[in-house]
A and B are shown apart, each in its own frame.
Chain A
Amino acid sequence: MADLEQKTKQGASRRDFLRGSGFAAATAVITGPAIASLDEAKAAEPEFKIVSDTTTLKLKVNGVDRTCEIEPRCTLLDTLRNRLDVTGPKRVCDRASCGACTVILDGDLVYSCTTLAISCGGKKVETVESFDSGVNSVPHAFVQNDGLMCGYCTPGFVTACKVMLDHNPNPTIDEVRKGVDGNICRCGTYVGVLQAALAAAKTMKGA
């Protein structure tokens, strides 16, 4: 199973940094990052590498280092499903609208259908396959609470619910709704999904 703790920590530390940096004092500080990047650019001419053909992608999927050949236009979703045989994330709308392709990329919930695989080199991807499915888990709560009918949207919903509960172990029903805002179920099992999320929150606390 994947190292989920590390993922949560990573996500939190970036946010914490931003919170902390809300009030910077010196005048010069503000343009620092932009100026620094310009100087670096000048020092390292000729500066950019053009990838126009297939290239080797290395990324960590569910805790395992994976390598495959991709074109720049390959999405993360198609790369996972078609080249790495990680078929938990589903291809439904393919336009960042339905959430069936939801994965966790370096700790953040994203739509893998609208992420270029080539931009994910060296990153950590976690999909529904890596989740615990024991009695105190989100997947189990979905089964117990009828959180699915055809099941096509379910991996996305489970992933979104899991990340939401990692960040907020005691959600209200409105917070659950916000947490799964980015996922759509054509069968309309929303009541079951919301119940499953609340039930998972309860059992995860008890665990």
Chain B
Amino acid sequence: MKAFEYVSTASADIAVKALGGVDGAILAGGTDLLSRMKDYVTTPKRVVDFNPQSVVQKETSPGGVPTWTILAGTTLADLLASKALREELPALWQAASEVGTPQIKNMATIAGNLLQRPRCWYYRSGFGLLSVKDGKNLLREGDNRYASIFHTDGDALFVAPSSLAVPLIALGASATILGPKGERTVMVSSLYQIPKRDSDRELTIGADEVLTKITLPAPQGKNATYEARQKQSHDWPLVLASVSLRFDGASVSQASIVIGGVAPIPYRAVEAEKAMFGKPVTLETAEAVAANAINGVKPLSGNVYKVALTKTVVKRALLAAVGNRYWEEV
């Protein structure tokens, strides 16, 4: 890897200052950034080792909905160690439990997971996010088995890599970002965009900004994540879905359904959400709702299999939320 200047701080304020005016990069757990630097995909002049506290907390406010706060430096291992989080945010806990390996869980942080760059092999080989060479889109014409099946009209065909973004968006989480102009808070879904030009990034956070914490309202109903993977461990899921459901009696009064591994951004299945409204979650309704999740799908030459996978994953996530894990009964 190329030589760089190094700054270490636990303070977001100092991290922002250290990023100012230089080609800099924030180092969190390092599992993504250092690998990109070794492959010369990313060559920052300055690396700012931002190592804030690892804290997961639930705060009760009088009269209001309790809020969960996860500070940026929270490792996945610490996230998984919170029993209260496991009980109340199973969608997030389940997704985190499948990320990486014991080593990666000890190193990786929630902010690093959310802001990791795409795993597309053309991007990682230096062809850029759009992977266009000599007028040809390498991902569209080449090996696209893990690429997007939604939003595939443009040139960005990679899939958004963060497994934790999917449950966090379903749970309505916000991200607090500190920059030179002060602090701003955005929905986690707004951290991502589909790049249109080579110079665009898939992340909306500025190069001189730092993600400091994630907050989310304590969910009022049920939530779950289900994922389908090729390898049992140490890999990203092929497709994962997170659902957060509110109920009026036995019927769903509000549904959030978010799918990962299918688009350059975490994909919100709006039509499936509408289809879930007013119905109880049963094997039949979940199957019908999941069929709505693939409306508008446009797979590439090598990933048609993801369409069927998406339906199954959405169905199982819905059923997992209400405790029906039929696929585990043999």
User: Residues of A at under 8 Å CB distance from B?
Assistant: 14-15, 18-19, 21-27, 29-31, 33-34, 37-38, 40-42, 47-52, 71-73, 75, 94-97, 99, 102, 108-111, 114-116, 118-119, 160, 163-164, 177-179, 181-184
Q: Which residues of B contact A51 (CB under 8 A)?
A: 5-7
With most chain A CB atoms within 10 A of its CB, the pick from B55, B71, B82, B85 is B55
A163–B289 alpha-carbon span in the complex (Å): 44
Closest 10 CB pairs of A and B: A182-B101, A22-B84, A72-B6, A41-B13, A108-B106, A181-B233, A182-B103, A41-B11, A30-B59, A37-B11
Interface status of B246 (Cβ within 8 A of chain A): no
Q: How large is the interface on B (under 10, 10 to 19, 20 to 34, 35 or more residues)?
A: 35 or more
Q: Among B30-38, B148-156, B191-199, which stretch is in contact with chain A?
A: B30-38
With most chain B CB atoms within 10 A of its CB, the pick from A31, A37, A119 is A37
Instruction: Return the contact of A22 from the options B51, B56, B107, B232 (Cβ within 8 A).
Output: B56
Please determine whether B13 and A109 come into contact, CB atoms closer than 8 angstroms. Answer: no
Q: Which residues of A contact B85 (CB under 8 A)?
A: 22
Per-position contact with A for B8-42: 1 when CB-CB < 8 Å, else 0? 11111110011000000001001100110110000
Which residue of chain B has its CB nearest to the CB of A49? B7
Which residue of chain B has its CB nearest to the CB of A118? B6
Which residue of chain A has its CB nearest to the CB of B84? A22
Instruction: Return the contact of A18 from the options B34, B37, B82 (Cβ within 8 A).
Output: B82
Please determine whether A33 and B55 come into contact, CB atoms closer than 8 angstroms. Answer: yes
Q: Which residues of A contact B3 (CB under 8 A)?
A: 52, 71-73
Q: Which residues of A contact B67 (CB under 8 A)?
A: 30
A189–B283 alpha-carbon span in the complex (Å): 41
Q: Which residues of A contact B59 (CB under 8 A)?
A: 24-27, 29-30
Which residue of chain A has its CB nearest to the CB of B15? A48
Q: Which residues of B contact A102 (CB under 8 A)?
A: 103
A34–B57 alpha-carbon span in the complex (Å): 13
